[in-house]
Structure 1
Amino acid sequence: MKLAIIRHHEVPLQIGEETMFYTPLMAAAAANDLEAAKRSLEKVCEKDEEGRTALSHAAEHGSLECVRLLARWESCFHGGFGVTALMYAAYSGRLSCVHELLSEAGMQTLARTSWCDGHITFGPGITALMLAASRGHLEVIQLLMPYERGMTDCGDHSALWYATCQAHDSTGKRLTDGFIDVVQLLKDETKSFYLRKAPPPAPHYPEIVILSSDTPSTSTSLANSSYLLISPPSPTVPLPPTPVAPILSPCCRRLEKPPQMGLIDAARLGQTDLVKLRLHEIGFRDADGRTALMWAASNGHYDCVSLLKDGEAGLQDDRGWTALMYAAWGGHVGCIRLLLNFEAYIQNYNHEFPMDIAEIAAREGSNDAARCLYCAQLIRNYDWERTKKRPDSL
């Protein structure tokens, strides 16, 4: 008999015993019983009544070994509210688990969510960084800032606002003064320059439009938001089929833009030497949520993708597209091979996998349909190979 913390309560659970809502794998993950978790892996990817997986329970309670075991199958899964395992780890201050789950950075909740046993409620569009800021977990915030700084929720609130106006302790008690050290760390994000959608780049240097930080917000509430992406991923790549999907943070306040060429511009143009010099900008996004890795993959810059994949793989833009999807759309076989192990199972907001994107490109958008069909088959074969390594074989 072991104690597992389920939904903020310590309850006695017999590891291996299935209840109405919690599988043996969830109970083992919450109790950090690695051996029991391995015996129950046939329950992987199953969800409880709140839409949570075993990985989210492990992340919330700091079960690092179980997080490492389950992340290969359940990372980037979320329930109906869009809460990821990374968010639970960040809110609970589980720094080691946050390290293991960075592939989920940049994701946002889809609806109003309750925390701290229902004492705290947040609106849609929050990120792991905002949750960590509301609890004052300084080390977690420092880890997440390169990936999520500047992002806002559907009320146009940043992580700084959560550290000042939504600060609370583990019991849900509000802290009127906020977290001073966290506020000091986050205050610079309000001084950033914001990048607007740029016109097509010049042959040797991209034309960039910079807006000052006092530009009025153009965000729209989630209730009346359905957006179309009208800017192509690259001047040399055809525009993908345009899905209609809610964008949780439609405003442009994403990227602190230096006056010289930044990481995103260098990756888009395939300037490998410049990418190496600006790796400290990993995690920065443009106005549509795209990262440097996505731009490099969409243009087939293999060396740039190789440099950026460990820092940005797994991130999604405002339509839910990953770097692998952009590589699949462009038919860039080398980039696809680099990214398969990171992003093969991530869906966009239209519930399309990278294999689907490659098939759509072959059917509708690409001049080289044969190469796109080959890419689709490449991803499909990888999927089949991974199926043979399901948890039953461990």
Structure 2
Amino acid sequence: MASATGCMLATAEDTYSIPMFTLEDLLRCLSEILGRGTSGTSYALEGYPALAARKIQCDNFTEDIIKDIQCNLLIHTKLSHPNVLRCHQVLCDGELVYVVVDRYRETVESMINRHKRKKQPISEQDIFLILEQIASGLAYLHDSGKVAANGESLPTIIHGGLMPINILASDNDKHFVLTDYGLPRELLQNGVSANAFSYSAPEELIHNRSSPASDIWALGCIIYELATLSRPTFASSDDSQSAFINDWKPNLISVESHLLRELLRYILILDPDARPSAKELVSLARDQTLVQLLASKELRAQVMSLQSEYEVLRQTLDNSNEKHRIELASLKEELDSKSNEISVLKNIIETRSADIGSLRKEVRTRSSRIDGLEAQCKGCISQLQALQKNSQQQQQQFAKATEELRMRVAQGFRLNNLIPMSDSSWTPLMHAVVVGDARAVKKYINDNRNKMNKDGDTALTLAARMGHKDIVELIDPTDKDGVTALMRAADRGDAGVVELLIPLQRGRQAPGKVYINGYTLRNRTALIGAAIYGHTDAAKLLMEHEGGMKDKEDMTALMYAALTNHTELVGLLMNTEGGVQNNEGRTALMYAAQFNSQDSVKLLLKKEACMKDKNGITALMVAANCNSPECVTLLLKKEACMKDNNGWTALMRATCNNSLECVRLLASKEGGIRTTHNVYWEDDDQAYPSESTASDIARRKGYREVLSILSKQSIK
């Protein structure tokens, strides 16, 4: 927003006799309150009886919503139609926005209330007059081909909150204009009444979806209220889902005018696509015989539809009777067939009864044999129990001998024939590790833990060779953040230790916050550490087991290799992890382009070219944003002319950053492309409207040299 001293956002382009206010002048002129609408409070201007000022309070909104309000008000100053409230000037003062507009004395809401008090209906002629003018204003707002006075194309505008309170009327109730059109929903909701849902279309209440057809529904509800002097109650705010079912029709019994009743049947339709356009309503309001023709056509269509339904029902009934006759004949045939089957089954039952008697005799014979086998099994069970007892005794003897052997080795004896060991390079800790004696390891763990024997082994490598996972944890324990011995070995590039520890600790992730070479990580792996430090040998060993794993931000080892410009590791990991995106949608190629890692960009192009992050940004856009012409050259062939979610290209980003070399490279490919959304650039308070080109952006930024490059390319 503006600073506390105030600023002028925009002025109408054809004000002529309308004065140009400064913020101080406008604040001095503010007089009595004229009324409070859905978007703000309106004030009279002392000395200017034909003008009013609307104050919009923005302190409860986010920066994005405030910018959206500013963009919409900028467009309002360019609109010109007799039935759309004219916006002459927009000024801001901190969190307040003031809009200078034409002054009107009344709203349609107050007009309806006046007729209610007098118990005087509004004439059919006046209702059609209001319909014609408001439909004309909506037709202008909905028109996608309208242009400003300077020839600039203006967007389609959906009112989005049409109610009697935001239709203004002249003193004689003969001229009506729309206000509060096309503003963000959050601003309208901030001042909207509890009865706003009475004018909301079914698709807005049920699906929160608006279109020009939603404005037509709201206009129909207003016509209903003008005709009946009562607010429409087609559905309440909490039962719209059950009220608006497929065969729903509006209850128009309170509408006395035949023409208005037929017109409302034409407007208040559930299907938005079936509703008339604003232009059609203008024609119907001007020539009311068309409404009568519409009613007669609808009646004929209903009669023809009923006749068609009658023929279909009659044919269905005939078909059903014939079908039942055929089914009855079929059932009689089936009954005769079943009777024959029953006779056959009786014969089968008699035969099977004889078979059952024979089987019973055989069962008695086999029972005698089973009794004999049971006696034999009892003898076998006794022998098996004796063997189990003998086996348990042998296991106890073996365990005792093994414990004696472990104690002898721990005391310094060789395994071969238990000859006393003369190799002084072996510490008691190493002996305990080899035999897997955890108690002895705990006893000697603080004595020469990192000492090597003559073969180059430490207690840790011996434990890993022997596969003693618990003893590895005792010697080099996993810390509070989950960092393992394998991860520490990978970080220091100790490929030998990495190879030994892989079978014991591969695939683990450290859930705590870990700092590696300037990066803060959670859920890091050993491979990610090797990639950040550039340890190629360790990474080769780990790649088979941890390739494709991600940290908490969905970052892979390949992405960190690209970030730290370790080209050899990029080539090693590319086939395993290429094409993966992190939780922001970014790829290794984008990180390589960000840090101008040209060799890595060349390698990754095959796998990750043309990929976009969540904002639609490509690697080429990143390179242009970071002023890396070398990477722009490499990426240009694959990713030129691609747009982000706002319709911005790499050339537009290079233009905003005044990156001359990148602009020269991109101008021939992307010079004529236009944006698709209103955008505020980073660290820039300017709004760049949709349909802007790179030249428009350069002109707004005042970059003459960039504009010269783009102009020359345009001439070519």
Query: TM-score, normalised to structure 2's length?
Result: 0.18
Q: Which has the higher helix share?
A: 2
- Return the structure number with greater relative CO, CA threshold 8 A, min gap 6: 1
Query: TM-score, normalised to structure 1's length?
Result: 0.32
